[in-house]
């Protein structure tokens, strides 16, 4: 066809033919300008082709002293066969690998930063996962640092723990055996709290007492659960008890007298404040993967302790007479004795992606998390947690990768605006999600680019408050409101104090802005905006200066959760009562979290993701107002509160 006098011709076979010829040139060594040396094997290729599909090689070639010369790249840690598969993919866009080579291809793709290939290999690994191989697959995913794979594998383990516990791979894992002596009229707490306390005890043993995991696993560890709900070393019995008959699988314990309440000097309990500080200095992972109450007297847990995948057994009892003759061992018949006050809890499954600087909101009784950083990239994926099924699913991704933003619900739709895309510091674009169509559509842009701003809905409008200036050096006073009907932005009165990374929420017709940072100095001051007269006033400050805190309205109060105090990620939580104009410290989270997501869903307060000072998190915990405690477990009877 010749429209408007121009010749237009499209050769449908040209690209396929050219790609085939280019690959043939590579295999014959013609016009090649790069040599890869992989464990003694030499591979010739064209630098431009490899640079287009591997950001890792692009950086190497881009930094060559002679960009027009011949490049040499050496790899001593990759499988040559896997690299050859990736070379074919680079030239043909076809990935063909024997199942035995998929893990090696994944490893090579990770090294070369070929993320699409790594994702495809990960999906293939997941498709072949079953109860027989999930432990070995988890070890591989952990070695690769793939939080997406880990999240899905852990979900499989949570659903099939008892069946997995009978497999050879499980039986070969290191095991930690604990016998817990209960104080008079005291029973162990619910499932989640048991293992949270156990992990706290192991951390203290490693960090305070200088022990290592191998030492703790050499024999059964005797612990004491006190009347004030602390899990303590057996040494608190101070000679009042004897342990004898210990071998690899058997123990007998005779308790003579219980410890006195005033023997605090010998009670090696761990305080949440000390623990949260210590967690931040340890780069290895501590987490519960799955646990089961396998009978009325049995607990079984798979956990990561100091980066090591381990099995934990607990035998708890109230008196020496109720003690069984043997401790649990790694066989099918496991028997402990534990009394539980509450119904069993469900372990909250982790997100598929670790996320920090994410957007979080409640929509139609579900928890929605969007975007954020996971160290490797800025995300556009969106996950949805349904408390009814206790599971995560993906919904439509955002149009733009986005982090360092907040998300709000307005007129039944999600709104996001501003933030960072991981390349430029600030964004001015925004979008809205319609749950009926599962689609994101663009909304009018902000007047200025904004990152680290607070966003919330109030009285039928969307507000964006504060944020970073174009150079990220200081906070902004700007406040703007978006009308979804007229689809226009208007200016509001500026804040009293410049601030970015502030916690922003609406309550009782007012807009609250708590904490944040003016430049790099963290703030504890709180401002309240009255849209009726367009004015800001100061209210009572928080107890802690914090930026990057999560915030949510729960039971008519404002909860400021975690954040960063300028030195450490925080686990502490405080609550604002607007009727009393005062902040009150509440129970701390089990993990320190800065730039985490917080939302109230179906009467429960959730904290999700964030950064603990060392790693980006994908786990979730929930607040129990009855006990003023946070836990990675939730119970069905909490939903009625």
Residue 225 has a pLDDT of 77
Residue 425 has a pLDDT of 61
Q: Of 71, 102, 128, which residue constitutes the final position of a domain?
A: 128
Instruction: Say if residues 456 and 474 touch (Cβ distance below 8 Å).
Output: no
Mean pLDDT of 276-290: 53
Residue 411 has pLDDT above 60, yes or no: yes
Does 559 lie in the same domain as 456? yes
119: domain CATH number is 3.30.710.10
Instruction: Tell me the pLDDT band of 69, cut-offs 50, 70 and 90.
Output: confident
Q: Are strands 557-561 and 573-577 parallel, antiparallel or unpaired?
A: antiparallel
SS3 category, 120: helix
Highest mean pLDDT range out of 283-297, 372-386, 412-426, 617-631? 617-631
Position 273 in a domain? no
Residue 495 has a pLDDT of 96
The least confident of 29-38, 106-115, 262-271, 629-638 is 262-271
Mean pLDDT of 213-233: 80
Half-sphere exposure of 176 (CA within 13 A, CB side): 25
CA–chain centroid gap for 204, Å, is 23
pLDDT tens digits, one per residue of 294-353: 655 567 888 888 888 999 888 776 644 333 333 333 333 233 333 333 344 678 999 988
Does 387 lie in the same domain as 312? no
Residue 623 has pLDDT above 90, yes or no: yes
Does 299 lie in the same domain as 383? no
Residue 320 has a pLDDT of 46
pLDDT tens digits, one per residue of 172-197: 899 888 887 877 767 666 555 677 77
Position 550 in a domain? yes
Residue 635 has a pLDDT of 66
* Sole residue written with tokens 């947690």: 385
Instruction: Say if residues 107 and 78 touch (Cβ distance below 8 Å).
Output: yes
Buried/exposed 5-39: b ≥16 CB within 10 Å, e otherwise: eeeeeeeeeeeeeeeeebbebbeeeeebebebebe
Does 576 lie in the same domain as 439? yes
Instruction: Say if residues 479 and 529 touch (Cβ distance below 8 Å).
Output: yes
Distance CA 237, CA 69 (A): 74
DSSP state of 568: S
Q: Which has more pLDDT, 267 or 197?
A: 197
Task: Please give the tally of structural domains in the chain.
Answer: 3
Residue 146 has a pLDDT of 87
Residue 613 has a pLDDT of 86
Does 510 lie in the same domain as 468? yes
Does 497 lie in the same domain as 403? yes
Dmax over CA atoms of the chain, in Å, equals 103
Instruction: Say if residues 382 and 622 touch (Cβ distance below 8 Å).
Output: no
Number of H helices and E strands in the chain, helices first, is 13, 37
Q: Which has more pLDDT, 154 or 553?
A: 553
Residue 93 has a pLDDT of 87
Long-range contacts of 2-8 (CB under 8 A, 24+ apart): none
Strand partners, 294: none
Mean pLDDT of 574-603: 95
Does 193 lie in the same domain as 117? no
Helix or strand run (H / E) with residue 144: helix 134-144
List of residues 6+ apart from 151 with CB closer than 8 A: 349, 350, 351, 352, 353, 392, 618
Domain range enclosing 186: 173-235+283-317
DSSP state of 541: P
Residue 174's CB: how many other CB atoms inside 10 A? Answer: 14
DSSP state of 5: G
Q: Which two tokens stand for residue 65?
A: 């002293």
Does 298 lie in the same domain as 359? no
Residue (of 517, 594, 500, 494) closest to 549 by Cα position = 594
Position 167 in a domain? no
Q: Average per-residue pLDDT in the chain? A: 81
Q: Between helices 80-92 and 14-28, what is the axis angle to 10°?
A: 150
pLDDT tens digits, one per residue of 459-512: 999 999 999 866 556 789 999 999 999 999 999 999 999 999 999 999 999 999
Q: Of 128, 160, 185, which residue constitutes the final position of a domain?
A: 128
Q: Which has more pLDDT, 519 or 375?
A: 519
pLDDT tens digits, one per residue of 344-371: 467 899 998 899 999 999 999 999 999 9
Distance CA 176, CA 564 (A): 34
Strand stretches in 173-233, DSSP E: 175-182, 221-225, 231-233
Q: Which two tokens stand for residue 76?
A: 């001593």
Rg (C-alpha) for the chain, rounded Å, is 28
Does 450 lie in the same domain as 374? yes
SS3 category, 388: coil
Position 304 in a domain? yes
Instruction: Tell me the pLDDT band of 3, cut-offs 50, 70 and 90.
Output: low
Highest mean pLDDT range out of 284-298, 346-360, 541-555? 541-555
Instruction: Say if residues 408 and 395 touch (Cβ distance below 8 Å).
Output: no
Residue 622 has a pLDDT of 96
SS3 category, 639: helix
- Cα-flanking dihedrals φ and ψ of residue 65, to 5°? -65, -30
The least confident of 25-29, 43-47, 358-362 is 25-29
Residue 538 has pLDDT above 70, yes or no: yes
567: domain CATH number is 2.120.10.80
The least confident of 134-138, 197-201, 246-250, 320-324 is 246-250
Does 617 lie in the same domain as 480? yes
Distance CA 260, CA 236 (A): 9
Position 444 in a domain? yes
Instruction: Say if residues 427 and 386 touch (Cβ distance below 8 Å).
Output: no
Q: Of 299, 317, 335, which residue constitutes the final position of a domain?
A: 317
Instruction: Tell me the pLDDT band of 67, cut-offs 50, 70 and 90.
Output: low
Position 415 in a domain? yes
Residue (of 569, 576, 553) closest to 458 by Cα position = 553
Does 191 lie in the same domain as 297? yes
Position 545 in a domain? yes
Instruction: Say if residues 595 and 263 touch (Cβ distance below 8 Å).
Output: no
SS3 category, 151: helix
Q: Are strands 510-514 and 71-75 parallel, antiparallel or unpaired?
A: unpaired
CA dihedral 572, 578, 581, 587 (to 10 degrees): -20
Position 331 in a domain? no
Does 199 lie in the same domain as 99? no
């Amino acid at each position: 066809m010749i429209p408007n006098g121009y010749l237009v011709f499209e050769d449908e076979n040209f690209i396929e033919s050219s790609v085939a010829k280019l690959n043939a040139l590579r295999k014959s060594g013609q016009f090649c300008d790069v040599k890869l040396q992989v464990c003694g094997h030499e591979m010739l290729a064209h630098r431009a082709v490899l640079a287009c599909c591997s950001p890792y090689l692009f950086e190497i070639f881009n930094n060559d002293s002679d960009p027009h010369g011949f490049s040499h790249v050496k790899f001593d840690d990759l499988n040559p066969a896997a690299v050859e598969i990736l070379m074919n993919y680079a030239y043909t866009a076809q990935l063909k690998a024997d199942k035995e080579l998929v893990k090696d291809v994944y490893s090579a793709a990770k090294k070369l930063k070929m993320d699409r290939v790594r994702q495809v290999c990960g999906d293939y690994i997941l498709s072949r996962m079953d109860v027989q191989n999930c432990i070995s697959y988890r070890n591989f995913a952990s070695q690769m640092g793939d939080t997406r794979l880990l999240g899905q594998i852990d979900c499989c383990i949570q659903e099939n723990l008892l069946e997995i516990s009978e497999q050879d791979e499980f039986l070969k894992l290191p095991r930690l055996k604990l016998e817990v002596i209960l104080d008079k009229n005291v029973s162990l707490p619910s499932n989640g709290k048991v293992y949270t306390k156990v992990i706290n005890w192991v951390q203290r043993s490693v960090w305070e007492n200088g022990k290592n995991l191998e030492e703790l696993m050499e024999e059964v560890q005797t612990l004491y659960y006190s009347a004030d709900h602390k899990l303590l070393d057996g040494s608190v019995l101070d000679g009042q008890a004897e342990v004898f008959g210990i071998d690899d699988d058997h123990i007998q314990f005779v308790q003579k007298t219980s410890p006195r309440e005033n023997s605090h000097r010998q009670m090696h309990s761990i305080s949440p404040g000390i623990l949260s500080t210590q967690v931040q200095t340890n780069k290895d992972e501590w987490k519960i993967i799955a646990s089961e109450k396998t009978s009325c007297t049995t607990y079984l847990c798979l956990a990561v302790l100091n980066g090591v995948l381990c099995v934990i057994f607990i035998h708890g009892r109230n008196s020496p007479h109720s003690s069984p003759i043997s401790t649990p061992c790694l066989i099918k018949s496991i028997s402990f004795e534990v009394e539980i006050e509450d119904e069993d809890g469900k372990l909250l499954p982790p997100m598929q992606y670790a996320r920090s600087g994410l957007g979080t909101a409640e929509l139609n009784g579900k928890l929605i998390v969007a975007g954020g950083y996971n160290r490797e990239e800025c995300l556009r994926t969106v996950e949805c947690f349904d408390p009814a099924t206790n599971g995560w699913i993906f919904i439509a991704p955002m149009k733009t990768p986005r982090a360092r933003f907040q998300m709000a619900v307005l007129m039944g739709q999600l709104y996001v605006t501003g933030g960072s895309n991981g390349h430029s510091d600030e964004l001015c674009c925004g979008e809205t999600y319609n749950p009926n169509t599962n689609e994101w559509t663009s909304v009018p842009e902000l007047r200025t680019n904004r990152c680290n701003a607070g966003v919330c809905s109030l009285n039928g409008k969307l507000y964006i408050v504060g944020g970073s200036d174009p150079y990220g050096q200081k906070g902004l006073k700007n406040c703007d409101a978006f009308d979804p009907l007229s689809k226009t932005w208007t200016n509001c009165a500026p804040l009293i104090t410049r601030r970015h990374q502030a916690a922003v929420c609406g309550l009782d017709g007012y807009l609250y802005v708590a904490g944040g940072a003016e430049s790099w100095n963290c703030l504890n001051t709180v401002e309240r905006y009255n849209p009726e007269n367009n004015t800001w006033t100061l209210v009572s400050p928080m107890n802690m200066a914090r930026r990057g805190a999560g915030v949510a309205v729960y039971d008519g109060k404002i909860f400021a959760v975690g954040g960063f105090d300028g030195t450490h990620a925080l686990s502490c939580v405080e609550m604002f009562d607007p009727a009393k104009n005062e902040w009150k410290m509440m129970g701390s989270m089990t993990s320190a979290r800065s730039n985490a997501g917080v939302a109230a869903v179906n009467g429960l307060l959730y904290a999700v993701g964030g950064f603990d000072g060392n790693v980006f998190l994908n786990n979730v915990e929930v607040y129990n107002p009855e006990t003023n405690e946070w836990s990675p477990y939730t119970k069905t009877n909490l939903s009625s509160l």
